[in-house]
Amino acid sequence: MPFTLNVNGKALTADVDGDTPLLWTLRDALGIVGPKYGCGVAACGACTVHVDGQPMRSCQIPTETVGAAKITTIEGMAAHPIGKKVQAAWMELDVAQCGYCQPGQIMSATALLAKTPKPTDAQIDEAMSGNLCRCATYTRIRAGIKRASGQKEA
């Protein structure tokens, strides 16, 4: 059945079964492919989106439960004042290797900085340890968050 979702500030309608995880509604029905499938069990964080500003694993959210919540994906980060900074830091530091997990990393990092503008290493660990990077770019992810928050990187 059709569901109208608020994605990146736009009302988009997807005709999917209600139990379809938001991840697949975004990717296959709406063509928003920034959120990635990595595990399907909320263990890798590649599918992270913001639901009313909170970082959530979209593989675990049935589309029928989304309702009027504001969904923001990596595609919407350029219009997000903090997301934009995080993206810029990621580019300057060439954080990515394969890049597959990075949309999820950026979504989690942006949510962290929205709540905690100058996070400590421990706060970074806590906020980011749900996001796997199989290439293990963790040193640069940490540096990227520090740079985006105007802190010393080392």
Partner 1 sequence: MTYELTGANRREILTSVTAAGLTLSFAVAPKAAAQDAGVKALNAYVRVAPDGVVTITAKNPEIGQGIKTSLPMMIAEELDVDWKNVRIVQADSDPKLYGRQFAGGSMATPLHWDELRRVGAVARLMLINAAAQAWNCPAGECSTAGGAVIHKTSGRSRSYGSLALLCADIAAPDPKSVTLKDPKAYKIIGKATPQYDVAKIVTGQPLFGIDVKRPGMLYATYEKAPVYGAKVASADLDAAKAVKGVRKAFVVDGDPNGLTPQGAIGVGLLPGVAVVGDSWWAARKGRDKLSTKWADHPTSQQSSKGFAARAKELAAGTPQKTQRNDGDVTGALQGAAKTVEAAYAYPFLAHSPLEPMNCTAEFKDGKLEIWAPTQNPDPGRQLCARTLGIKPEDITIHMTRCGGGFGRRLGNDYMVEAAWIAREAGAPVKLLWTREDDVQHSFYRPGGFHFFKGGVDAGGNVVAWHDHFVTFGDEKAAAASAGMGPTEFPSRFVPNFRHDVSFMALGAPTGPMRAPGSNALAFVHQSFIDELAHAAGADPLAFQIKLLGDKPTVGEAPSIYNAGRMVGVLKAVGEMSSWGKVKLAKGEGMGVACYYSHMGYFAEVCHVAVSPGGEVKVKKMWVAADVGRQIVNPAGAMNQVQGATIEGLSHALHQEITFAGGRAEQSNFTDYPLLRINEAPPVEVKFVITDYPPTGLGEPALPPALPALTNAIFAATGKRIRSLPVRPEMLKA
Contact residues for partner 1, defined by CB under 8 A = 16-17, 20-21, 24, 28-29, 31-41, 43-44, 46, 73-75, 77-78, 87, 90-92, 94, 96-103, 106, 124-126, 128-142, 154
In whole angstroms, what separates CA 53 from the centre of its chain?
Answer: 10
- Smallest separation, CB 106 to partner 1 (Å): 6
Specify the residue, 145 or 150, whose C-beta has the smaller distance to partner 1: 145
Specify the residue, 52 or 92, whose C-beta has the smaller distance to partner 1: 92
- Smallest separation, CB 2 to partner 1 (Å): 14
Distances 36 to 57, 82, 94 between C-alpha atoms, Å: 10, 21, 20
Task: Assign 50 to helix, strand or coil.
Answer: strand
Segment (H or E) for 124: helix 121-128
Other residues' Cβ atoms within 10 Å of the Cβ of residue 87: 21
Specify the residue, 4 or 129, whose C-beta has the smaller distance to partner 1: 129
In whole angstroms, what separates CA 97 from the centre of its chain?
Answer: 17
What's the token pair of residue 141? 């992810």
- Smallest separation, CB 117 to partner 1 (Å): 19
- Smallest separation, CB 111 to partner 1 (Å): 15
